[in-house]
Amino acid sequence: MREQIIDARRKALIFPTKDLAIAHAAMDLIEFIEKTPHVPISIALSGGSTPKAIYQKIVSLNSHFKIPWEKIAFFWGDERLVPLSHPDSNYFMAKSTGLLGFGSSAYPMWQPDHTADQLALLYNHLLDKILHGRPIDYLMAGVGEDGHTLSLFPQAPMQVAGRVMRAEDHLHPHPRLTLTLPYAQKATKTVVYLFGSAKAPITAQILGKKPLPHLPAWHLGTEEQPALFLLDEESAKMLSL
């Protein structure tokens, strides 16, 4: 594994294979949970195949560790506004891996008969009520090949007030909700996952020397709350480090 300090707000760990990177991602969360004293430990889940593989790994490791699931509150970093049983639901995806089945609390973004803006308002209040104004403890962020993260897409407004907003996106099906960038940046720990050769171009852009503020994933990590980028050699192969 190679470690690379990108800048004051971002560090990368580069693993020989995707499987090793996924294993490290799972262990990083388990270790974070074990050393976090307060309750609840808030974890914001993302959608996508990369986060899904990490959830599956955590589930596979559950019998090897005494994970205090009752201390954990799962939230979502973003969601497609479809029923919780819909195959495109990020809640459905996490549930299908078994991750939600060990006694943790889980707070889905979607509920029926509400507009996206109403759901954003409700989730904003829920975060405030459950976390008493504290930021998310652990944000798990996948990144799309276009540089989106959560459901913050390149054309979306990024410097907005509040914790949750309706995602502005015309390329992807379903209306979505997403944590706002300023709120996501407050997370105590942010881990960003970029694995595989298809992510090599966007990885080189996001972690390259040229500032690319039009890409939401470029904004992950601040000097106050640096972000950890987990890569494999495939996704890192175009990086000029």
Q: Under the rule (CB under 6 A), what is the footprint of ligand 6PG?
A: 46-51, 78, 90, 142-144, 148-151
Instruction: Return the SS3 of 3.
Output: strand
- Please state the closest distance from residue 35 (CB atom) to ligand 6PG, in A: 25
- Please state the closest distance from residue 68 (CB atom) to ligand 6PG, in A: 26
Q: What are phi and psi of 78, to 5 degrees?
A: -165, 165
- Please state the closest distance from residue 132 (CB atom) to ligand 6PG, in A: 26
Residue with smaller CB distance to ligand 6PG, 36 or 93? 93
Residue with smaller CB distance to ligand 6PG, 40 or 51? 51
Q: What are phi and psi of 164, to 5 degrees?
A: -135, 140
- Token couple for 222: 């601040």
* 19, 120 contact by CB (below 8 A): no
Q: What is the 3-state secondary structure (H, E, C) of 88-101?
A: CCHHHHHHHHCCCC
- Please state the closest distance from residue 88 (CB atom) to ligand 6PG, in A: 9
Residue with smaller CB distance to ligand 6PG, 135 or 153? 153
Which residues make Cβ contacts (< 8 Å) with residue 79, sequence separation at least 6?
47, 89, 90, 91, 108, 109, 110, 151, 176, 177, 178
Q: How many other C-beta atoms are found inside a 10 Å radius of the C-beta of residue 16?
A: 12
Residue with smaller CB distance to ligand 6PG, 151 or 203? 151
Question: Of how many residues is the chain composed?
Answer: 241
- Please state the closest distance from residue 176 (CB atom) to ligand 6PG, in A: 7
Residue with smaller CB distance to ligand 6PG, 137 or 169? 169
